[in-house]
């Protein structure tokens, strides 16, 4: 599960993992890659919004790619303007094993 805020290219990551895994005993494993869409919530007024609802410059996206918490720097609630926001979904990389 690739958080949208992380802005990682799914295909490139898959390519690399396929390359590494084929040399190992785990080459039979099936790996699914899924982008988790961002969901932000204002702690002050409760409004929720996604990354596609706001405008970010390329430089800001780059900062957020390195450090997803930088979304707090470059975004605020589109409704009330507060910077006290929660990232509900869309940060980090998670690996789930079944």
Partner 1 sequence: MSIDPRLAGAKRMLGNIKKIIPVMSSKGGVGKTIISVILALQLSRQGYKTGLLDLDINDPNTHIVLGIDLDKTFPEEKEGVIPPLTYGIRYMTIGYYTKNNPTPLRGEEVDDAIKEILAITKWGDLDYLIVDTPPGLGDEVLDTIEYLLDPRPVIVSTPSPLSRESVLKLISLIKNEGVKNYGVIYNMVRKQPELHDERVIGYVNYDESIDEVIGNPSEILKTKIAGDLEKLIPRIIKL
Query: Which residue's CB is nearer to partner 1, number 50 or number 91?
Result: 91
* Interaction between residue 34 and partner 1 (CB under 8 A): no
> Least distance (Å) from partner 1 to the CB of residue 34?
14
Least CB distance to partner 1 at residue 19 (A): 16
Buried b (16+ CB within 10 A) or exposed e, 58-70: eebeebbeeebeb
Binding mask of the shown chain, residues 67 to 86, with x at each position contacting partner 1 by CB under 8 A: xxxx-xxx--------xx-x
Q: How far is CA 76 from CA 16, 21, 49, 52, in A?
A: 35, 41, 10, 14
Residues 47-66 interacting with partner 1 (rule: CB under 8 A): 63-64, 66
Instruction: Kindly tell me which of 54 and 91 has the beta carbon lying closer to partner 1.
Output: 91
Sign of CA dihedral 96, 54, 70, 12: positive
| Pairing assessment for the beta strands 85-89 and 39-42 based on DSSP bridges | antiparallel
Q: What is the DSSP letter of 25?
A: T
Which residues contact partner 1 (rule: CB under 8 A)?
63-64, 66-70, 72-74, 83-84, 86-87, 91-97
């Amino acid at each position: 599960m690739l958080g949208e805020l992380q802005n990682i290219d799914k295909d490139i990551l898959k390519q690399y993992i396929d390359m590494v895994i084929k040399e190992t005993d785990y080459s039979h494993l099936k790996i699914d890659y899924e982008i988790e869409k961002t969901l932000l919530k204002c702690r002050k007024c409760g409004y929720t919004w996604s990354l596609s609802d706001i405008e970010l410059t390329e430089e800001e996206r780059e900062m957020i790619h390195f450090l997803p918490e930088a979304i707090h720097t470059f975004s605020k609630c589109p409704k009330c303007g507060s910077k006290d926001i929660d990232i509900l979904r869309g940060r980090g990389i998670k690996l789930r094993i079944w």
